Amino acid sequence: MNTRTLILSLLLALPLVACSGKLDTDLTDSTAASDGNAISASDSDLALAGRELVDGDAFVASGDLSGDNFGTNGALKIGYHNGNHYETYLSFNVRERDQPAISRVCMKAASDGDSGWIYEVHDDFDQGAITWDTRSTDATQLTKGEISVAAGNWVCWKVSSVIDTSGDGRVVFAINSKSSTPANYMSQEGGQPPQLAYWQ
């Protein structure tokens, strides 16, 4: 085996890991994320899945809105608008069940736009109190890239790598976007709660 072949073999053997650690300001895009892009899904696709409905959901906003709480809003916002940056936070209670083959966080789009990407957040939050100033940015990015979505469709992000259904637990996610035309999503107050969907 020549030196070039040996080096290539060693590189291929290295594990692929997601970007993690304390992010000082915004949740940012990373090419190191390992679970792929979001997908678009229909109501019939979701009907085939087991699910947990969201336990807590809220968006936060930077700038002049950084101290405001939006936990009762009917929409969940991401991306940039009128000089503010929006991020959405979700929490799910995971109940014991057979381990699913694929787990995805799914949200129903209330507007056309770009999907955003998803993080696992390592701290919990209070839906009625979270703001931009108090949110946790200690997070691991799970997906990369954005897709175009249409209002009325579900957007699903793969999160299988962080879901363990061998016992009861809790998991927290954040959705972020660098787009100036991101999709808005429906919250549990808006009548279509986000879901943690399981496919076998």
Domain-embedded: residue 194: yes
What is residue 169's predicted lDDT score, i.e. its pLDDT? Answer: 95
Count of CB atoms within 10 A of residue 81's CB?
14
Q: Which residues contact 124 (CB under 8 A, 6 or more apart)?
A: 91, 170, 172
Domain-embedded: residue 33: yes
Residue with tokens 């809220």: 58
Domain-embedded: residue 89: yes
What is residue 19's predicted lDDT score, i.e. its pLDDT? Answer: 37
* Integer Cα distance of 185 and 56 in angstroms: 14
pLDDT over 70 (residue 23): no
Range of the domain at 137: 19-199
* Integer Cα distance of 175 and 111 in angstroms: 16
* Integer Cα distance of 200 and 183 in angstroms: 28
pTM score, two decimals?
0.83
Domain-embedded: residue 11: no
Residues 35-79 have pLDDT tens digits of 567 888 888 888 878 899 999 999 999 999 999 999 999 999 999
Residues 158-168 have pLDDT tens digits of 999 999 999 99
Domain-embedded: residue 188: yes
What is residue 12's predicted lDDT score, i.e. its pLDDT? Answer: 29
Domain count, the chain: 1
Domain-embedded: residue 140: yes
| DSSP string covering 31-62 | TT--S---EEE-HHHHHTSEEEE-SEEEEEE-
Domain-embedded: residue 95: yes
pLDDT over 60 (residue 190): yes
What is residue 24's predicted lDDT score, i.e. its pLDDT? Answer: 32
Mean residue pLDDT of the chain comes to: 83
Domain-embedded: residue 158: yes
